[in-house]
Amino acid sequence: MSGTFTKSMARNIFYGGTAFFFLLFLALTFDTNQALPKRDNSANLTPQVIAGKKIWETRNCIGCHTLLGEGAYFAPELGNVYVRRGPDFIKAWIQAQPTGTPGRRQMPQFHLTDEELDNIVAFLKYTSEINTANWPPNIEG
Amino acid sequence: MQYKSQAVAKPYFVAAIGLFVGQIVFGLIMGLQYVVGDFLFPALPFNVARMVHTNLLIVWLLFGFMGAAYYMVPEESETELYSPKLALAMFWVFLVAGALTIVGYLFVPYATLAQMTGNDILATMGREFLEQPLLTKIGIVVVALVFLFNISMTMLKGRKTAISMVLLLGLWGLAIFFLFSFYNPHNLVKDKYYWWWVVHLWVEGVWELILGALLAFVLIKVTGVDREVIEKWLYVIITLTLVTGIIGTGHHYYWIGAPEYWQWWGSVFSALEPIPFFAMTIFAFNMVNRRRREHPNKAATLWALGTGVMAFLGAGVWGFLHTLAPVNYYTHGSQITAAHGHMAFYGAYVMVVLTLISYAMPILRGRAANSPKAQVLEMWSFWLMTIAMVFITLFLTAAGILQVWLQRISDTPLGFMATQDQVSLFYWMREAAGVMFMIGLVVYIVSFFVKGDKVAEA
């Protein structure tokens, strides 16, 4: 920080640098949006999947589980649960909660209808088919 | 106190500390639920406790930021606040809205809460950290806009310093990026992509401008170092922050379905993200070493130095630990993430708000600094909370390394819950460190009520 480097130079570099990198970020975002349809499985975004996503959200599943690695770390990763467990197991599991095993982590009972269960399974199937660059490392999530 | 309208900061600080206590109580409950899974179930399921824990953190930090702005901007602008009444009114709006939201989380099933509050009109709920009902989100926007109007009008009629400009830019950015919380596309990849525009561009972007401004303000006050020097540093630090942090968003785009070039952009730029935090540490120590006065508030100086160090460790070092794509492939969504989250939030944002409160609160209460006795207690709380947080982070890191090994690297990978059982010792140790943190917080609060000899008049 010599005397030749003034505050107004620092300020100009700040505004210039920020503007440049924000524009670069926008450009990358634009490109990402162009490239997404090949990876994001959006072709399979059926009304059932959309309804399932809403159930996922309104039951605050992310408050315990991770989905593609994001969320809480209290309960298993569900991005690949469709592959790990299959549809019937998922439905039976949700219906059987809470297990009531003393000392074990408990999942609430959400009283989902059969249709809602099918929706959430459809959402988890759609999620499992997103191209995640081979994440997670193995089936356990 | 130089301007009497600065007094509106006081209720903001009091509310911030009150909600901080709530946050830690729920943190302790969750920590116990990690090892005694059915603790308080079904009255308080983990997901509800977590929502309360994280949302209280965000809200109390926002209270802290707003209080800080109301305290700093009149002094920086050399003029009274545009409207102290509006500031006070917004305080109550925000507090009541926040309290109602928490009560809603605790006593209404989340799906019912969603139905009651218009989630069917515009679905925004149920995404991590953005769990707030639509009405609360709208309330946050209203409060933020009124707040920004008040602060901006104050600045417009007074002196415009670099510190207040940076602060204002950070606060406007905070409000603008929050608007992405209303965008919840059905496409999960896009949902996640733009969710980070709130979360990452807040904590690794515009919030760091606020952090820098608060720290610079306190350093000018306690060290008496020339404003030109400090403000030049501030610009350099926030330049480094945004140049690395904006593209650094890419470290969240590795495994969510975005193109794989993000592994390069994210790794390279976020590997540079520790630099601004390192600069901040050097900055804080440098300014204190070059001090031209002995400010009687030693505690505030300690908090300021602590912010630099802990932000560097938590955000810088622990962030770098798992930010490179080949490493993150294994650590993503593990306890390593939790370890980083805890120390980064504490070191950067909790500590900077406590720095500002430590400096401003005595002045708001009519003295330049608290009595030596009260300050000693406050410094004890600093060490208790900070060391506790170091332990929480170390134990979670140990749990995370084991978890990654057992569940993701081993030739015979264990399932999630089997792995959790294996690492439970570290969760117990984390909970013990959490109790230590709570003790530190109690000591902190007690320090406000300790009398003793006055140091000096404000």
Specify the amino acid at residue B206: V
CA–CA separation, B33 and B427 (whole Å): 10
- At B125 the three-state DSSP class reads coil
Enumerate the residues of chain B whose CB falls inside 8 A of the CB of residue A14. 235-236, 238-239, 242
Please write the tens of the pLDDT for every residue from B169-199: 999 999 999 999 999 999 999 999 999 999 9
Instruction: Provide the pLDDT for residue A3.
Output: 67
Name which of B184, B187, B252 is nearest A40 (Cβ-Cβ). Answer: B187
The whole-angstrom separation of Cα B92 and Cα B97 is 8
Structure token pair of residue B367? 């003295």
Checking if the pLDDT of A2 tops 90, the result is: no
Dump pLDDT digits (tens) for B418-437.
999 999 999 999 999 999 99
- Residue B458 banded pLDDT, cuts 50, 70, 90: very low
| Residue of A7, A29, A57 with shortest CB distance to B125 | A57
Interface of B with A in 122-141 (CB under 8 A): 123, 125-128, 131
User: ipTM, 2 decimals?
Assistant: 0.97
pLDDT, tens digit (0-9, with 9 covering 90-100), for B17-55: 999 999 999 999 999 999 999 999 999 999 999 999 999
Q: What is the pLDDT of residue B1?
A: 87
Q: How far does A25 lie from chain B, in Å, by closest CA?
A: 6
Q: How far away is chain B from the Cα of A75, in angstroms, using its nearest Cα?
A: 7
User: Taking 80 as the threshold, does the pLDDT of residue B148 lie above it?
Assistant: yes
CA B134 to chain centre: 23
Residues of chain B with pLDDT > 70: what percent?
A: 99
Indicate the helix (H) or strand (E) that contains B17.
helix B9-35
Residue B230 contacts A where some CB pair is shorter than 8 Å: no
pLDDT of residue A136: 98
What percent of chain B is predicted at pLDDT more than 90?
98
Contact call for residues A107 and A97 (beta carbons, < 8 A): yes
Residues of B in contact with A36 (CB under 8 A): 187, 189-190, 257-259
CA B139 to centroid of chain Cα atoms: 20
Contacts of B413 by beta carbon, 8 Å cutoff, 6+ apart:
A138, A139, A140, B406, B407
Set of chain A residues whose Cβ sits within 8 Å of the Cβ of B332: 69, 135-136
Which amino acid is located at B407 in the chain? Answer: Q
**Residue B452: pLDDT over 90:** no
According to the model, what pLDDT value does residue B343 have?
A: 98
Q: Does A27 touch chain B (CB under 8 A)?
A: no
- Name the pLDDT band for B155 (thresholds 50, 70, 90): very high
User: Which residues of B114-253 form beta strands (DSSP E)?
Assistant: none
Give the residue among B245, B231, B362, B360 at the shortest CA–CA distance from B304: B360
pLDDT surpassing 70 at residue B456: no
Q: What is the pLDDT of residues B323-360, one digit of tens each?
A: 999 999 999 999 999 999 999 999 999 999 999 999 99
Please report the pLDDT score of residue B219 as a whole number: 98
Question: Phi first, then psi: what are they for B185, rounded to 5°?
Answer: -65, 155
Interface of B with A in 160-179 (CB under 8 A): 162
The string of pLDDT tens digits covering residues B393-422 is 999 999 999 999 999 999 999 999 999 999
Residue B323, chain A, CB below 8 Å: the answer is: no
A2, A5, A11, A113: which to substitute to probe chain B, counting the most B Cβ within 10 Å?
A11
- B33 chain-A contacts, CB cut-off 8 A: 74, 105
CB A128 within 8 A of CB A61: no
- pLDDT greater than 90 at residue B451: no
pLDDT at A4 over 90: no
- Per-residue pLDDT of A32-77, as tens digits, reads 999 999 999 999 999 999 999 999 999 999 999 999 999 999 999 9
pLDDT tens-digit series, residues B251-309 = 999 999 999 999 999 999 999 999 999 999 999 999 999 999 999 999 999 999 999 99
Q: Find the mean pLDDT for residues B153-168.
A: 97
> Which residues of A, range 75-134, sit inside 8 Å of B by Cβ?
75-77, 98, 100-108, 110, 126-127, 130-133
User: Which candidate, A135, A20, A17, A115, places its Cα nearest to that of B331?
Assistant: A135
Sequence spans of domains, chain B: 232-458
pLDDT at B454 exceeding the cut of 70: no
Superfamily for domain range B232-458? Cytochrome c oxidase-like, subunit I domain (1.20.210.10)
* B263 in contact with A, Cβ within 8 Å: yes
Task: Give the closest of B128, B233, B408 to A62, CB-based.
Answer: B128
Residue range A11-29, pLDDT digits in tens: 999 999 999 999 999 999 9
Which run of H or of E encompasses A71? strand A70-71
Q: Tell me the nearest-neighbour CA distance from A74 into chain B, angstroms.
A: 7
**A1 pLDDT exceeds 80?**
no
Answer with the residue of higher pLDDT: A4 or B120.
B120
